[in-house]
Structures are given as structure tokens and as C-alpha cells.
Structure 1
């Protein structure tokens, strides 16, 4: 009986540790298509940025926005891709995105075209510039409603898709 109780206690410690590190998340909108689709079930590493200074280019992050939920129950949690980090300069012109004067290869986007016109926007310190992969519908850093994201508001990095099972695996 002691062995059984010991096994249960170890299992509980492992479950608690995992829930402190990993946050399960369900995609609710289409702003990250074709990378992520509505109802994809993801795992988010909540400790991803505790061991390094800043998010990397291309990371898919979830963060708490300043946008109210439709039902008034708090702020929306959004999922977007990191395009630029602090001190980078972002330009959006003629459907292309440039970081520090270099045109980005964004083959992961749905349309291959980015609307908007941003001229030499310098990303503030401890903030990131994010965009959805479905640029036509994404509410992201191009909008004053979202703007750049404080690194303090980042919940974590999406790293694994569990569902649908046909697409199970690490995110790129």
C-alpha cells in the first residue's frame, strides 16, 4: 500500500510541475492560418523566455492584449508570430515587410501580401512587433488597438500542436 501511495504522490508532483510549465491552448480565430487553424489544440511553454532574454524572430507567442473580450469577462488572449524585437526597425511597403531594411521571406503567410503602410517604426525596448500569418484578417501590431507587445504580457511560446491528430507535432 505504501508503494501505491508513493506512486500516486510522484504522479501528482509531475502533473503539478507540468501544469506550471505548459499551458494547453485552443486557437479561437483564423488570424494564424495557414499555420494554425481554429480549434487547433496547442501546448504553450510558459517558461520559454525565462531562460533567454527575448523572443526570437518567427516565434509563435500567446499574450494578454488590452482588448476586452466580447462578453466583458476580461482581456483577450491573442496568438501571433514575432516579426521584430526591441530596437529593430519595421517597414511595411507595397505588400512586403522589412526588418532593419531587409525584406522578409514570409512563405508561411496565407496571402503572401501584407496590407498597411508602416515607415521605419522602431520597436521599443522590451517589446516585440507581432503579426498573424493571415494578414488580411489579423489584428496585430500594425493596429493601434494592439500595437507592440510588452514582453511582460507574453504568456508563453506555442511549441506543439496536439490536435488535429493528423497534424500533431512541433510548430515551426
Structure 2
């Protein structure tokens, strides 16, 4: 009987350690809002890889100092409100990384002296007047795919994002099931 209890406790401990380990590497998250449409939509459930290796084109989750409004908390249960915390996390696409030059003018995005081809924005123009000679060390420039409805690096509330504020990159969409798969 004692041996069975020890085995049971050992198995439970291993399972708990595995769960904690996996959860520290891979985390689920949900899209709130339309700033990443048409790529990601409100309510999509995603899997994020906790990774600081970020490349141009990656879709990332960033921590911000923006406070969550009471309106944004409406309809959420207590656990969801607690999990969200007091500040917003944003889902955005990495456009430029350390060392890149970036110009946004006349609806076009010029990255390292070449116009960026962005099929994921469905022909929409990119508003803004940005001229960054060189993205500083440990910073990235992010934008939402829905350029007309995205709060992102073009706005001074967000600006260039510190790599330390990147929680990870999106790798898979779990829901809706009709769109299940790797995120490009």
C-alpha cells in the first residue's frame, strides 16, 4: 500500500512538472479586436511559443502599458478578468527588427530601401509618416494587418517595442477549427 502511494505521488509530481514545463514554453491566447484582420479575427484562439527569437513577419504578442478599459472587460468571467490583468497585450506583426531602416509614406512601407510586399493586408494602404534611419538594438517595429484599425508602432502610445516586452510568437491557430493550422 505504501509503495502504491509513493508511485502515485511520484506520477502526480512528474505530471505537474511536465504541465508547468510545457506551459512555460507554449501558451494559449485569444484574439481581442480586429487589428489583425484578415489574418486573425476577434475570438480566434492561438498557440504562442515563448520565444525571444523574433524575425520580420512573425506575429507576436506584446505587453503594453495601456490600461484595459471597463468596456473591454464586459462579459468576461472573473477568471478571464484576472488572467488579463490590468494592462493590454496586443497581437501584431513584426515589420522591422534591429538594424533595419523603415519609411512609411504615401501609403507604402519601405524596408531597407525596398517596398515591402504585404499580401496579408488585402491591398489596404498604410497610413502614417514614419522615417526611421535604423531600428535600435533590442527594439522592433510592429503593425496590425488591418492597417486602418490598428494601434501599433506608428502611434506614440506604442512606438518601438522593446524585445523584453515580447511575450512570444504565434505559431498555430486552434479555433475556429475551419482555420486550424500554422499562422503565416
TM-score, scaled relative to structure 1: 0.89
Matches of 1:121 and 1:39, distance apart in 2 = 37
Higher helix proportion: 2
> Is 1:150 aligned with 2:162?
yes
Contact 1:110 1:135 in 2 (8 A): no
Unpaired runs of 5+ residues, structure 1, are: none
2:56 is aligned to: 57
Cα distance, 1:17 vs structure 2: 1.0
Unpaired runs of 5+ residues, structure 2, are: 74-84
Of the three residues 32, 41, 47, the one matched with 2:45 is: 41
CA RMSD of aligned residues (A): 1.8
Aligned residues: 167
- The higher radius of gyration belongs to 2
| Worse-superposed segment, 158-167 or 116-125 | 116-125
Matches of 2:66 and 2:10, distance apart in 1 = 46
TM-score, scaled relative to structure 2: 0.83
Q: Secondary structure at the match of 1:64?
A: strand
